Amino acid sequence: MTTGVRPRRRGPDPRAVRSSLIALVSTIIVFGGLGWIIVHAPGWPEVQASFFNRAVFEEALPGLLEAFVVNIELFMAAEVLVLGLGLVLAVMRGLPGPVFLPVRVMSNVYTDIFRAIPGVLVIFVLGFGIPGLGLVDPRTDQRLFGILALTLVYSAYVSEVYRAGIESIHPSQEAAARSLGLSRLQALRYVIVPQAVRRVIPPLLNDFIGLQKDTVLVSFIGVVEIFRFSQIESAATYNFTPYVAVALVFIVVTVPLIHVVDWLAGRSRAGARPRAAATPPRVGVL
Amino acid sequence: MRKLSTLSLGLIALLAVACGNTGGSASPAAPGSSAAASGAPSASAAAACTKDSLKTATAGKFTIGTDNPAYPPYFQPNASAATAPWKIADPTNGQGFESAVGYAIADKLGFTKTDVAWIVVPFANSYAPGPKTFDIDLNQVNYKAARTQTADLSKGYYFGNQSLVALKGSPLAKATTVAQLKDSLFGAQVGTTSYDAIAAVIAPTKKPLVYDTNDLAIDALRNKTLDGIVVDLPTADYITNVQIENGAAVIVGQFQGGTPEYFSAVLAKGSPLTDCVNGAIDALTQDGTLKALVSKWLPFQDSVPVIKP
């Protein structure tokens, strides 16, 4: 026997529509009002000419986007290496037993030092120090030193993120894996690390975003990436609009990335949950 | 999703109001304040350019800004330590080309040496919007029309060229024409006309490396990361004689580009002092003071070969 099932509503809920409209009007009034106040402030024409100058913006934008390709190369290459090296360091840190003490110590010392030193110092030391010592061909592309420096620094942070993820996995998982006959490394590889990584995707994304920003530090060793290019444009025109343009480029790149990754992470979390919990039980189905 | 769309609509509204109001964008340089002003000031204008009538930042004082550290040959070090906060060279001692020019301009305007004060002004602050803490800024600022949108630039007090520095014995050191420079890797300081000269005069096949300061570019040259750096001629002289040790670097030559380059003093946009400062520079040019200062502090001008285009 079926209990009374409410008939499906046709069209949107009028209460929801009304509250959306109120929210929309309110947002436009508040932000539009703020905008109006700013635009009518006494110093606005000078500030606009210096920071929001359309002509300078349009002139600088193509060059900025071309220079941004260098940043993309830097953070894509560094991120791949960072995710790998960070995991290695985290696993090294977790190796149990007295025989692995030197390995744990090395990992600890590495993460301590490279989280302590400002990233820009590492970039300087690698970009000016290594060629200066004659250790490598001095004509090595400076971008490689930039990628190496960023990798060294960010692996330290990411290894701690991985460690937090690995330690958050309940020990019963490893116990179950070992009882099935998997070795410790196999348990890590097939059971613990996949779960751990899924858990720590938000902080990993955080570090990736930080890495994207820190690629501008590579400009210190001469590489013309987006920030250095905006400095060049800014000094050429005696205007600060190029800096605002750089901020805009980073926002446009980072914000969608955040939402896409969060959505992907949400989907993979939903996939991991048992199916019965994903949909609410229907009432009155035979 | 609903919240996201209303929030983004609001932000778009804000941005549209900010940028849509195009009152101030792409405005041409204000008339009457560019450095290409007409000739000698009239007697009545000269009479108005005295210590008592000039509206300086601090009444009775003439404030000159420059960056820190200050370098020879534009400024010279003291025998003992420089007065704080200056490093390397001390602008207050009147030695060095720009220090001497600063005191000479102040003198023409009726300020004695004790009336002149020097303050530290990083390059970017000289053209930032807003009131200025200096009366003039002397920082090897080359005149560029685009710069007159936000600052007043005076008439030229030094006319000079960009030059190329390379390590002695390198293939670049033997170059005599611009065509021979095309395949080398160059470096320069950001925001300088030295950097512009690389693109405009040399147009190399490899993108140049750009540094925050000349010192970093010099480090890269020492490391052989680059083949050559472009700097103005007086700086090149200092680099090859002092900064790079044991004569390891040489001046390859100077560039004679399209438009002649000159240093201008920077003033606040629409500053009441601009006409008087221009008058002072005119007077110093006409009575030979500037020429004498160039001979004294920058004597190597004519002995450096020109790199043929």
Q: What is the pTM of this model?
A: 0.74
d(CA B50, CA B280): 11
Residue B25's pLDDT is what?
39
From the CA of A86, how many Å to the nearest CA of chain B? 30
- CB-closest option in B26, B187, B190 to A231: B190
pLDDT tens digits, A245-255:
999 999 999 99
d(CA A100, CA A41): 65
Hey, what are A162's tokens?
A: 């991985």
Q: Report the candidate in A47, A29, A50, A30 with the shortest Cα–Cα distance to residue A39.
A: A47
**Residue of chain B nearest A237, judged by CA positions:** B146
Superfamily of domain B162-254: Periplasmic binding protein-like II (3.40.190.10)
Beta-carbon pairs below 8 A across chains A and B: 146
Per the CB < 8 A criterion, the answer to whether A240 and A175 are in contact is: no
Does A235 sit within 8 Å of B123, measured CB to CB? yes
Q: Report the candidate in A55, A219, A244 with the shortest Cα–Cα distance to residue B191.
A: A219
**Residue of chain A nearest B218, judged by CA positions:** A128
pLDDT tens digits, A217-276:
999 999 999 999 999 888 777 788 999 999 999 999 999 988 988 888 888 777 666 555
- CB-closest option in B9, B25, B224 to A55: B25
From the CA of B74, how many Å to the nearest CA of chain A? 21
CATH code that applies to domain B43-159+263-303: 3.40.190.10
Does B17 sit within 8 Å of A231, measured CB to CB? no
- Do B43-159+263-303 and B162-254 come out as alike in CATH topology? yes
Q: Which residues of B touch A28 (CB under 8 A)?
A: 9-10, 13
Q: Please give the order of strands across the beta sheet that includes B249-254.
A: B209-211, B186-189, B228-232, B162-167, B249-254
Pairing mode of beta strands B249-254, B162-167: antiparallel
- CB-closest option in B187, B190, B219 to A235: B190
CATH topology assigned to domain A69-227: MetI-like fold (1.10.3720)
Domain ranges of chain B: 43-159+263-303, 162-254
Q: Which residues of A touch B212 (CB under 8 A)?
A: 219-220
Hey, what are B219's tokens?
A: 């480090």
Does A50 sit within 8 Å of B128, measured CB to CB? yes
What are the CA-CA distances from residue B81 to residues A132, B88, B90, B98 (Å)? 30, 8, 9, 19
Per the CB < 8 A criterion, the answer to whether B41 and B282 are in contact is: yes
pLDDT value at A166 more than 50 = yes
pLDDT tens digits, A129-158:
888 887 888 788 899 999 999 999 999 999
Q: Which residues of B touch A25 (CB under 8 A)?
A: none
pLDDT value at B235 more than 80 = yes
The two most distant CA atoms of chain B are separated, in Å, by 74
The DSSP annotation for B125-160 comes to GGGSSS--S-SEE-S--B--GGGGGTEEEEEEEEE-
Q: Which residues of A touch B146 (CB under 8 A)?
A: 236-239
Which of A31, A123, A140 to probe the B interface (max B CBs under 10 A)? A31
Hey, what are B198's tokens?
A: 């690389």
Residue B42's pLDDT is what?
46
Mean pLDDT of B129-133: 76
Does B207 sit within 8 Å of A54, measured CB to CB? no
- Residue A53: strand, helix, or coil: coil
Q: Which residues of B touch A32 (CB under 8 A)?
A: 10, 13-14, 17
- Residue A15: strand, helix, or coil: helix
The two most distant CA atoms of chain A are separated, in Å, by 87
Residue B51's pLDDT is what?
83
Q: Report the candidate in A272, A52, A275, A36 with the shortest Cα–Cα distance to residue B26.
A: A52
pLDDT value at B201 more than 60 = yes
Contacts for A178 with CB less than 8 Å, ≥ 6 apart: A184, A187
